[in-house]
Amino acid sequence: MPEWDVIGAERATGETSTRRVTADTSEAAVRAVGQSMLIEKVKPVRVVPPPSEPLHPPEFYYPPPSPPPGPGNPPAYDEIVHGANMLSFVGGMSILLGLITIVAAMAAGANGAVPGSVAAGFVFSGAALIAYGILSRFVGSLGLAVRDMARNSFGR
């Protein structure tokens, strides 16, 4: 026979309470409580049947850890080498373009083709290009140095 939870307020005290009643229908559960409660809700009690098999914890697959590269086979870090080569190339082109800009600005200023202030602006622009080229090549070399330190740590 099913069980029902009858929820309501007690007539004598006014406090909310829940009574569990065994009855065939919800109407029978209300009649079983009688006049002692002001009924708010009647809901069936859900009984969860026990599992037919014992429960086991879930099994997870953990792949075996891969062995680290040995002393004779450190990683190559090809991306770092490629990036360092690109920075070195861009830096070299910037230095070359900066030198060309400075020489052209001095020649144009000396010939009187452009005013001196414009020539000075081009000279400073060329100097900025040279500074950028130097820093770009420095950052590329720094990347290679970090790569070499990482590769050397595998031999220990």
Same domain (yes/no): 38, 85: no
Report pLDDT for 69: 61
64: in domain: no
72: in domain: no
58: in domain: no
Rounded Cα distance between 15 and 48, Å, is 30
39: in domain: yes
49: in domain: no
Report pLDDT for 25: 87
136: in domain: yes
In this prediction the pTM is 0.52
Beta bridge partners of 10: 37
Per-residue pLDDT of the chain (156 residues; tens, 9 = 90+): 788 888 888 888 888 888 888 888 888 888 888 788 888 888 888 877 777 777 777 788 788 877 666 666 677 889 999 999 999 999 999 999 999 999 999 999 999 899 989 999 999 999 999 999 999 999 999 999 998 888 887 765
Rounded Cα distance between 34 and 19, Å, is 12
62: in domain: no
Rounded Cα distance between 3 and 22, Å, is 4
Report pLDDT for 71: 62
Q: Which domain holds residue 31?
A: 3-44
Instruction: Tell me if 50 sits within 8 A of 41, measured CB to CB.
Output: no
The domain total for the chain is: 2
| Token reading at 77 | 């870090």
Same domain (yes/no): 147, 84: yes
Rounded Cα distance between 15 and 77, Å, is 73
C-alpha 120: how far from chain center: 48
Same domain (yes/no): 29, 87: no
Report pLDDT for 35: 80
E-only strand ranges, the chain: 3-10, 16-22, 37-44
Report pLDDT for 155: 61
57: in domain: no
CA-closest candidate to residue 39, choices 16, 63, 23: 16
Rounded Cα distance between 108 and 110, Å, is 6
Instruction: Write the single-letter amino acid at 49.
Output: P
